Chain A
């Protein structure tokens, strides 16, 4: 039961991250500072997504 819940929570988090990644891809900024922030946020999302691979 505990294992099942953990698995469901993992799936949910994975879906959240994929959604966040898509949102970032669809909203690319054009200014330098915004771009730095975009890279930082995207980097964090990708880092966590790597754990699911």
Chain B
């Protein structure tokens, strides 16, 4: 077993991550419900299909993290840096992404119903096929690419409440 794989497919709800180096680690298919990873640098990690419901990853660094198909309902990602992060098919219902930087993020087929994207940077984020019902886009930053990938209704909301870059 690769040493970086020890957290894979595990119940990690009781783990204290305070002293664990998480950069580039494989945490896929794990249960991390309610995990506290505030202000942590976990870039390059693999959290695909992981349960991160109600977890706190506010102010964290998540560059290039794989979160494909992850359960992220009610997660706190406020002010997190999610550049080039893979969120394909992730469940982000009721997620708090206020002030998050989603530059170049892959959000195709993600469910963002009732998510808070106020003040988020959505430049070059890809929302193809994403569910964007009742999303809060207040002061969210977007560019022409962002608009090309979202549905008509969401586009109207983003133009109305967001800020063109």
Contacts and interface: CB of A to CB of B under 8 A. Distances in A.
B68 interface: no
Contacts, number: 32
Given A35-B63, A35-B83, A39-B83, A30 B43 contact: yes
Interface in A16-35: 28, 30, 32, 35
B41 interface: yes
A30 B104 contact: no
B144 interface: yes
Contacts of A43: 103, 123
Nearest to B147: A53
A30 B103 contact: no
Contacts of B124: 42, 46
A46 B145 CA distance: 9
B64 A30 contact: yes
A20 B17 CA distance: 39
A39 B64 contact: no
A28 B44 CA distance: 11
B63 A32 contact: yes
Contact of B103 (A28, A39, A47, A50): A39
A47 to B, nearest CB: 8
Nearest to B103: A39
B63 A46 contact: no
A39 B61 CA distance: 14
Contacts of A32: 41, 43, 61, 63
B157 interface: no
Interface of A: 28, 30, 32, 35, 39, 42-43, 46-47, 50, 53
